[in-house]
Every structure is written in structure tokens, then in C-alpha cells.
A and B are shown apart, each in its own frame.
Chain A
């Protein structure tokens, strides 16, 4: 809620460039504006009476900006992040500690005496001395149960190793208890956390960088990269303009969901030299782009039918973005992007 009103306020301040003084902070600005509206009406009238002399000296030129609607289309992370070494060590310590604290495993509740499963279980327990498969060889009831630390370079705390141990245990059980000893049962391993697109460096695929949020960037016909955006037409809200932009730039073959009606950020681009329109008395200074957040559910961007002359698109994670966009552009959009 606070961010929404905050964003609205920020837009309001951006949309009033004539009133906004860049040297004054936002809250002070609003305070002075509010005070002027009702408390200091007298000074206001005085200002107005004094202003005509200045306007006659210089012709009134209204500065104007093109208002663009942009979309920050993102794909959320698909898998959990990799653990840090400290987190791995912590979780491993907790597992061995739990081994000492919890009640012992009640074997005969799960395995009937004398069955092949029971025999298999006994054999495995003799081997690894504990019921758990993922904590390595550790006996919580021995005299040296205090010695629960891993040696340097031990793989037991790695999640991959733990999963491998679980799968191997399942395979061993299946092979030991099955009637048919000729063929070995194979239990499929989990898929790799690195996909094919990661290895090939395919930045167009949505199947890459599964741990990160990806953002859709398009390359304009001038060759620079940007978030998809286009000027707002007359009688069009920001949201409608964003929907139209998305359809015109990246095609309709995407199942997307726009988050809210408020923009999450903006980017102001000033021309090096303001373009003067003599006929209307308008000084065209640049572009202001307002971004609405969107999520992609299914589908893929398709530039073959785009009407904005876009050349290429990429799905980029946060740290890859500065390689493609300018410094000011990145500093304007970076606070809209999620850390992961």
C-alpha cells in the first residue's frame, strides 16, 4: 500500500516539472506546496501579481516530454537458490544434533520381523550405524557422539551428495528385496540445476538461470537495449498502454499477468538539445517512461510480428543487465529489479 501511494506521489512530482525544484527534497516540496495552498495565500497572490513583468520579458515556452508506457516483464525463479557454505554446514550440524536429541527410530513399527525388508534394513544399519542416510557414518549413541564435525573437504554436507545417498539407498533396497536378481533397477536422479540453455549461453530461452528472476529486454532498431515501451496514445490509461505495448512488441503468444495499475518505476531521458516546436510554443525536451510490473506464466516472446521495429530480445538476470544497457538507464531501473 505504501509503495503504491509512494509511486503515485513520485509520478505527481515528475509530472509537474515546472513546480518541482530539483534542489529541494520531496517531502519539503510537498510541505511547501501544501502550506502555500491554504496557509500562505497572501504570499501566493503577491507572487502572481509580480510575475507578469517577467513573462512579458521572455516568451512563454512550455517544456514537454513524451510520456511512454513500459513493461517490466519478469519470469520468477523456478528453483530454490544454492545454499552458502555456512548454510550447508549449519543444516548438517542440525541434522547430527537432531540425531542425538530425537527418540530412536522404532524399527518394528515399519518393518515386520524376518521379512526381506527387515533383513535389508539391519544390514544397512550395521554399515552406516544410523537410521539416517544423509548424515554419513555417525553413531549418536556411541561414546564419541560428541565428535560430530566433518573433516575439511568432506562431501556429506553437500545437498547433491545427500540426494545421491537417498537415491542410492532406494536402489539398494529395491535390488536387495526384489525376486529377480538378474537385472538392476535404476531410480531416476533429479534433473540438473543447470539447464541446456545455461550451458549453451542461450539468452533467449526462458529455461535458463532457473534460480534467478529474468527480465525481458528488447533491442530497438537503433541497436540499444531497453525494456519494451511505447508512447501513450490519447484517451489511454497507463495499464492499457502497457497491454498494447506488450502485444505490439513481443507478440500475443504469451500468458502474462500485469501486477497492479501503478508504475513501479520511471526513467527520464532528456535530449541533448531540446527540440523547439515554434508553431505550438512547445519545447520538446525528452521522454519519460513509466514501468508497470508484469509476470510471464507461459509462452515466449515473438518479434516476428512486432510493429515497433525491434530487432532482438533477451531474458536477462539482474547482473547481466549492465552489460547491455547504458549506465544512467540501469541506475534508473535497477531499484525495480529483484535481488534474486
Chain B
């Protein structure tokens, strides 16, 4: 009983008691100062995506306009049917072409050789000749591959040749 009484005190009694200096306020209901929330200052920013679509957003960055160069609008993952974003190699400096001129095209086996497409329609007319040609080409390709494999496997074994010969 004695515990509950201070909580249920009327307004008049609180006013009287609060005048005394020794009173400890156990429960105050008067208004206190509302502090400013600790929120950072935010600006409105205009975002321009790579395809030109825009929207505004609130951000702490003071830059008024942001232009993105890479986003979902020009990523192949998000635009699987876009012909613009198809995997076409850009060879502005000509370094890939130079590499191909030097080492041939057998490295990128997936890409067709430029001359091959032009050749195929004429091949249909003289089938036998084309078959022979194809066989010859295949043989040449096989030989080249063997040469390359030899080159790779024989790399660094020249100096060991004498030793291995002795063992045998």
C-alpha cells in the first residue's frame, strides 16, 4: 500500500511537494525538450542511368547529378535479348588481329575463319573435291596440333636428353 501511494498522487500534491528541495522526482510527466534527431543532412540527387532514364533520390552526397556508366540497363545479364550488347570483341588497337596474323586462328577454335564462310557455298557444287580438301585440311590441322603438342612436351627436356638416354 505504501508503495503504490506515490505513484497515484494527485496533481495538487505533486505541485506542493515539488516546492520542497529534498524531493526526488520518481516519475515526471511534464514535457521535456525534444532533441533534434541525429539524422544526417540529405540532398535530392538526380540519377541518370546509362539508357537515359532518370529518377531522383535522397542522399547525403552533395553532388546534384549522378550519371552511371554501367548498370542494369546496359548489362548483358539483365538484357539477354539485346543485340547491342552481344559479345562482339572490340579490337580498336588491332592487337588481336596482329596476334592472329602471327600465330594463326587455331587458338580460338570457336570462331569461324573469315575465308571459310565464303568458301562453303562453292564447295557444294563439287562435292568430291571439297571432301578431299577437307581431309587434307583435317590432316594439316592434326599435324599442326601434333607439332604444338611436341613443342609443349619437349620444352625444357633438351638438356635432360643425355641423362634419360643413359638410363634407358
Interface residues of A (CB under 8 A from B): 79-80, 95, 98, 101-106, 110-111, 121, 131-134, 159, 162-163, 166-167, 169-170, 173, 187-188, 190-191, 255, 297-298
Q: Which of B39, B44, B54, B65 contacts A102 (CB 8 A)?
A: B39
**Could you tell me the distance in whole angstroms from the C-beta of A221 to the nearest C-beta in chain B?**
33
Q: Are B41 and A106 neighbours in the complex by a CB distance under 8 Å?
A: yes
The CA-CA distance from A95 to B44 in the complex, in Å, is 9
> Which one of B6-14, B45-53, B103-111, B113-121 is at the A interface?
B45-53
Residues in B neighbouring A95, C-beta threshold 8 A: 44
Rank and list the top 6 A-B pairs by shortest CB-CB distance, nearest first.
A190-B54, A105-B41, A170-B65, A166-B64, A170-B64, A169-B64
The CA-CA distance from A188 to B43 in the complex, in Å, is 20
Further contacts, 14 of them, CB under 8 A, given A102-B39, A167-B46:
A95-B44, A101-B37, A102-B36, A102-B37, A103-B36, A103-B41, A121-B62, A131-B43, A132-B44, A162-B44, A163-B56, A166-B46, A166-B64, A170-B65
> B72 near A: Cβ within 8 Å?
no
Instruction: Tally chain B residues at the interface, Cβ within 8 Å.
Output: 23
Q: Are A163 and B41 neighbours in the complex by a CB distance under 8 Å?
A: no
Residues in A neighbouring B39, C-beta threshold 8 A: 101-103
Closest-by-CB residue of B relative to A159 is: B56
**Could you tell me the distance in whole angstroms from the C-beta of B113 to the nearest C-beta in chain A?**
32
Q: Are B64 and A98 neighbours in the complex by a CB distance under 8 Å?
A: no
Q: Are A104 and B41 neighbours in the complex by a CB distance under 8 Å?
A: yes
Q: Are A173 and B64 neighbours in the complex by a CB distance under 8 Å?
A: yes
The CA-CA distance from A255 to B45 in the complex, in Å, is 34
Q: Are B44 and A133 neighbours in the complex by a CB distance under 8 Å?
A: yes
The CA-CA distance from A104 to B39 in the complex, in Å, is 9
> B29 near A: Cβ within 8 Å?
no
